[in-house]
Amino acid sequence: MRVLQVNKFLYPKGGAEIVCLGLAEQLGAAGHEVRLFGMQDPRNPTGPDDDCFPPAVDYHARRSAARKATEALRTIYGLRARRGMARLLDRWRPDLIHAHNIYHQLTPAILAPARARKVPVLLTLHDYKLACPVYTFLRDGGVCEECLGRLPLPLLRHRCKGGSLAESAVLFSEALLHRALRSYERGVTLFTAPSRFLRGKLVATGLDPGRIVHLANALPLDAATLARAYAPPPAREAPELLWVGRLSYEKGLATLLTAVSRARRPLRLALVGDGPEEGPLRRLAGELALGDRVRFLGRRPRDEIPALLAAADATVLPSEWYENAPLSVLESLALGRPVLASRLGGTPELVAEGETGWLFDAGDADALAACLDDWAGAPQERRRRGERAHAEARRRFHPDRILAETLTLYARLGARP
């Protein structure tokens, strides 16, 4: 089978990229012919179609007003990406296209050449972009669904993109154009969502339920790691909790620090990552007199994360926004570390209360403190849930299982085995 994997970034920048590149590697190992399409970037793996890729764009770099205007148009409809896709499809006819994150740097413009050549497209939705123009369902520090299932005029009224009317107008124009063109309706044969929660939100936008399938993410671990037996965490006087991610307000870290200060049992917390809230969180930790109970470890290379997880007793995800299907949760479960998570978004689909972790209400510091006390005071239960997480993660999310489900969907699209 010939499969074209498409993503705007083709190096392991984040979860979508890890999923896309991991699947491409699996397909290749299974004997399928795989090629990639994305933006030009020196961090990409080299391939035979690099000349078809549109040039990279960095929306965070300093640019002139004229350059920003040009890039705004490209954000709405990527003509160069469309031409590059057409050239690649004429050169190498795949049986299907499996697209991932295509917004802004590639745009749905790349779907038109596939439709014209009758190449089926499967689009995996890693975020809420089709339901919320700014991806996140967040506004003014809280969850917002004003644009769900309607024309996204609230996007302009609230200036949801960075408080900027101009940038919000670009996203509004993008949404309006692709609704008018029916880009996704006509250009995508089948959608997949890594969480049932995300699928539900997309159905609420008006997407045909028959065209969107739940397909879980695979465990982002190599075969050697997956073959290892459960190993308990190191013995210690106070259990250690690990958080990994971006230090931003929607992650619920202020609530977490407050909860740690209110917990009655001894425990320690390590925060791995950096971000805009690092300074305020460090100050809050000082105001709460947390001392050595909380450590800020900064950003760490991805290949160090499994060792940090293995050294912890559990991980925590106190997010106050709609997490979708975090790879960090899957990684923790697969390494036998239970997860303490807020009962919000897609995370409760991954963490089973009483079996593989603990759940609590998002944004409630007292509820989280009580959860921390339950967790810290039950070493045998921690181990039981860790062993259960180790087994359940392999049963539900093993890469071989997810690959088999993916190939079933490819066959549904008419791809040859």
Is 255 domain-assigned?
yes
Q: Give the predicted TM-score (pTM) of the model.
A: 0.93
Residue 68 has what pLDDT? 57
* 179 and 303 within one domain: no
In angstroms, the CA 389 to CA 214 distance is 21
Is 159 domain-assigned?
yes
Is 64 domain-assigned?
yes
CATH code of residue 269: 3.40.50.2000
* 358 and 231 within one domain: yes
Is 417 domain-assigned?
no
Is 366 domain-assigned?
yes
The total of structural domains in the chain comes to 2
* 403 and 362 within one domain: no
* 264 and 188 within one domain: no
Q: Which domain holds residue 81?
A: 2-218+398-412
* 236 and 290 within one domain: yes
Residue 326 has what pLDDT? 95
Is 372 domain-assigned?
yes
* 404 and 261 within one domain: no
Contacts of 307 (CB under 8 A, 6+ apart): none
* 105 and 191 within one domain: yes
* 186 and 153 within one domain: yes
Reported as half-sphere exposure (CB side, CA atoms, 13 A), residue 263 has a value of: 27
* 38 and 83 within one domain: yes
Is 17 domain-assigned?
yes
The secondary structure of 179-244, three-state, reads HHHCHHHHHCCEEEECCHHHHHHHHHCCCCHHHEEECCCCCCCCHHHHCCCCCCCCCCCCCEEEEE
pLDDT in tens, 152-182: 999 999 999 989 999 999 999 999 999 999 9
* 245 and 165 within one domain: no
Query: DSSP 3-state assignment of 121?
Result: strand
Biggest CA pair distance of the chain: 65
pLDDT per residue of the chain (417 residues) written in tens, 0 to 9? 999 999 999 999 999 999 999 999 999 999 999 999 999 999 999 999 999 999 987 665 555 555 555 666 778 889 999 999 999 999 999 999 999 999 989 999 999 999 999 999 999 999 999 999 999 999 988 899 999 999 999 999 999 998 999 999 999 999 999 999 999 999 999 999 999 999 999 999 999 999 999 999 999 999 999 999 999 999 898 999 999 999 999 999 999 999 999 999 999 999 999 999 999 999 999 999 999 999 999 999 988 999 999 999 999 999 999 999 999 999 999 999 999 999 999 999 999 999 999 999 999 999 999 999 999 999 999 999 999 999 999 999 999 999 999 999 999 998 776
* 277 and 178 within one domain: no
In angstroms, the CA 298 to CA 319 distance is 19
316 neighbors 338 (Cβ within 8 angstroms): no
In angstroms, the CA 397 to CA 214 distance is 13
In angstroms, the CA 99 to CA 130 distance is 14
Residue that has been written with the tokens 């089973």 in this structure:
352
* 356 and 259 within one domain: yes
Is 207 domain-assigned?
yes
